[in-house]
Amino acid sequence: MKKRIISKLEIKGPNLVKGINLEGLRVLGKPSFFAKSYYQDGIDELFYMDVVASLYGRNSLLNFIKLTAKNIFIPLTVGGGIKTLKDIRAILRSGADKVAINSEAIKNKNLIKEAVQMFGSSTIVLQILAQKKLNGKYCCFIENGRQSTDIDPVDWAIEAEKMGVGEIIINAIHKDGTGSGFDDFLVKEIVKKTNIPVIASGGAGSYSNIKNIFTETKVDAVCISSMFHYDLVKKEKKNLSSQKFSEGNIEFLKKNFPNYKGESCSIRNLKNFLSKNSVDCRLV
């Protein structure tokens, strides 16, 4: 299997947003524009995440998914606020290929078992939001990082595999949006102790970060936001900042991402780099 490059689009209301450590969300533009651009640039999959779904008790991405599925022909994963089999069915009928579940999977493990039985393992993705504590140990968070648990992410990944989930997205909160690199240790531990595809997310900030996570941990895919978002914003900054936004913090669009320490790059250039460095991925 070729290594996959996935773009995560975090959605709040009508806008694509991005923060650091899941906080301080800033508006970057319209999700449809970014999704189309990434599709044309050779992205392998898109991951839509409603970042306020758990807070408001509902996922509001159905219209986004319907629009995307009509024009973009790559796998789509949708997460955020998924609580019932009915929610899963609605998202899949809208055109998504997979659903990613975090909070409700921890609160109600029967949902995972029933969803796998009804929709199949390949459709159900476990999303793990993990935070590294001061003592060096890790714990899982729910509610998009607003509430901690006493659950160890490696133990949870092992248990979820036994319940039948098809793959795991592991997002390190302390790395997310920083551009400082993935939490290689945590990713490596989960990859070693499970036998299903693992997707590394949170912290990608350079070509070498991504090459190393593939060559040193044997993950199946990486999920990237900032590197791709900021590259596209830089190219389209004038057009994006002139758009009319009905809500959200748009001041960030007028600045040069002062808190982001990583590189930015196109999908095409990243894939060419990975291919030259012995990472087998689908070239454009």
For 138-180, the pLDDT digits (tens) are 999 998 778 899 999 999 999 999 999 999 999 999 999 999 9
C-alpha to C-alpha distances, 141 to 28, 54, 116, 150, 156, nearest whole angstrom: 25, 12, 22, 9, 12
Q: Which two tokens stand for residue 243?
A: 């758009």
Domains of the chain with CATH codes:
4-276 (3.20.20.70)
pTM for the complete prediction?
A: 0.93
Contact between 78 and 6 under an 8 Å Cβ cutoff? The reply is: no
User: Could you give the 3-state DSSP secondary structure of residue 1?
Assistant: coil
Q: Which of 115, 113, 79 is nearest to 99 (CA)?
A: 79
- Confidence (pLDDT) at 248: 60
Of 120 and 242, more confident: 120
- Confidence (pLDDT) at 30: 87
| Rounded CA separation 67/48 (Å) | 13
- Confidence (pLDDT) at 88: 96
180-203: burial string, b at 16+ Cβ within 10 Å, e else: bbbbbebbbbbbeebebbbbbbbb
**Look-up: residue for tokens 């409603």?**
50
